[in-house]
Amino acid sequence: MSARNWGTELDLSWISKIQVNQPAVLRRAEQIQARRTVKKEWQAAWLLKAVTFIDLTTLSGDDTSSNVQRLCYKAKYPIREDLLKALNMHDKGITTAAVCVYPARVSDAVKALKTAGCTIPVASVATGFPAGQTHLKTRLEEIRLAVEDGATEIDVVINRTLVLTGQWEGSDFIKTSTGKETVNATFPVAIVMLRAIRDFFWKTGNKIGFKPAGGIRSAKDSLAWLSLIKEELGDEWLTPELFRIGASTLLSDIERQIYHHVTGRYAAYHDLPMC
């Protein structure tokens, strides 16, 4: 992500005074999840907006250049064109926010997007993903190689030992999880993170981005996340520069819901092939 807060002095005394009202956070999370979602054309509009926040991701041990190529094609054409035409949105340039791959697959993604005539950013996990337990020199070299191959965004896995020992560092984006844990993006944790972003903005004037990742699979989930961002941080955070959703299967369900809105029936899997 682009740098925004370089040079801001980190006030550790302020951080050490932070307390979390856990019962209140849990109540707020339940409220968000229990809320009825918008319907009909309003739902379709919000789902199309959700598409533009997705970091379309493949982080499998058997990734190849061919499946990365298909991923990139889907990132450029996330919703079937006839469905977009039915919504009069075919000329709006709707794409995902980025594609996210392992460092070794960055060059494949850059080549595929260039061939498709697309300027979608390529993001890469790095620095010993997903555990972050590698030597600093190795972590930095992994970033350097990913950038050299064309990555413009790096999802850095922090060394959690530093966090647990109070050795904090700054960031332009914060992410709930790697998506490789047993528990990943949850609303209670997200609420705490979003309010920390809000407090930091009030204190310094610097806007920090937020990315939930892992376990976000349904269109309904995506609407809940957008609602949470809107209510906790405001409309100015509803932009790909400040909000992303890390997901590999979410787009499929969003497209199925769009299909249902347009046709009145649910699509079979072969109707909406996903990479």
Catalytic residues: 155, 175, 211
Q: Pairing state of beta strands 153-156 and 54-57? A: unpaired
Are 209 and 203 contacting, i.e. CB atoms less than 8 angstroms apart? no
Q: Torsions phi, psi of 56, nearest 5?
A: -70, 120
> Alpha carbon of 260 to those of 44, 93, 109, 115: distances in Å?
10, 22, 31, 32
Alpha carbon 1 to chain centroid, angstroms: 12
SS3 213: strand
Q: How many CB atoms lie within 10 A of CB 45?
A: 13
> Alpha carbon of 256 to those of 7, 82, 271: distances in Å?
45, 13, 9
Helix or strand run (H / E) with residue 85: helix 81-86
Alpha carbon 2 to chain centroid, angstroms: 15
Q: Rg of the chain over CA atoms, in angstroms?
A: 19
